[in-house]
Amino acid sequence: MYALTNNSFEFIGKTAVYNGKVRDVYSLENGLLAMVATDRISAFDHILPKGIPFKGQVLNEVATMFLNATKDIVPNWLVAIPDPSVAIGIACEPIRVEMVIRGYLAGHAAREYMLGKRTLCGVRLPDGLKENDRLPTPIITPATKADEGHDEDISKEDIIEKGLVDEAIYNQMEQYTYALFERGSQMAAERGLILVDTKYEFGLNNGVVTLIDEIHTPDSSRYFYADGYKERQLNNEPQKQLSKEFVRQWLIENGFQGLDGQQMPQMPDAFVQTISERYIELYERITGQKFQRADTQNIVARIEQNVNSFLQNY
């Protein structure tokens, strides 16, 4: 199985390329973007050395489903999916703040809480919580969007005071975030899952706040299995989850958290295969459909041909 990691595509009308941790974004003529979901995987803001077969396809197709299912809530950037691993959409002016929303005390929030912190991004958390407990109400814990290195927690008050986002625009993003999380939670519940936390990114399209990038994918979100959740909490057992958290835990167990001086461990092929299977499992669980593995033998040629065919006829 071939994993798409680093490639340069010659798309019609290409004007610029931005290589993110996972996605490669091609600026095109006519105000369009082509976003290639590669098979790269990142954790602790570092790209891991091996790609994960079919991961990009999973991310792209799950994001597409949720973008189509939420366009009644907020306008989004998506125009077309010319290839299983590529989305084409409207080039928006990115807002440099990620809207992270949490319904449960998990991941980064749990690690901060266990260190004794009771305020996260200006939001006060109650005492007496344990890891993976449901929060009294979902909370928004924004982060500044970094091109390189770590995204940083920030409060709503600091965002507005520093002029990172206009207050009226931020308030609109906040309303959209709560509504998107509620919709995503409902859709997850229908599939026997709990949407634990996620993040949304917004941009401006002619001054209109627009949802961009991916939503509700295993890269941007954390899911628990609903079945057995309460019992596992009562017994202080780890939750069964579909997310990247098990990759982070594997890295931690192998001495890596992205800190200075730490050496990135090599992932065995068997673990790479496990990650791939977990991504496919999430796809099938969240969509209720059998995952159709795209032909990866000539994945670079496939993508270039599919995207250029679309652009020729757009």
pLDDT tens readout for residues 172-222: 999 999 999 999 999 999 999 999 999 999 999 999 999 999 999 988 999
Which stretches in the chain have pLDDT values below 50? none
**Which pLDDT value is given to residue 154?**
94
Are β-strands 78-83 and 97-104 bridged in parallel, bridged antiparallel, or unpaired? unpaired
**Which pLDDT value is given to residue 265?**
93
94-242 has CATH 3.30.450.40 classification: no
**Which pLDDT value is given to residue 84?**
98
**Which pLDDT value is given to residue 146?**
62
C-alpha dist (Å) from residue 272 to 62, 131, 218, 268, 292 = 20, 27, 16, 6, 19
Tokens of 2: 């071939």
Global pTM? 0.90
**Which pLDDT value is given to residue 152?**
86
**Which pLDDT value is given to residue 147?**
57
Domain boundaries, the chain: 94-242
Beta bridge partners of 27: 16, 33
Contact status, residue 37 vs residue 30, Cβ threshold 8 Å? no
Are β-strands 152-153 and 143-144 bridged in parallel, bridged antiparallel, or unpaired? antiparallel
pLDDT tens readout for residues 238-262: 999 877 778 988 999 999 999 999 9
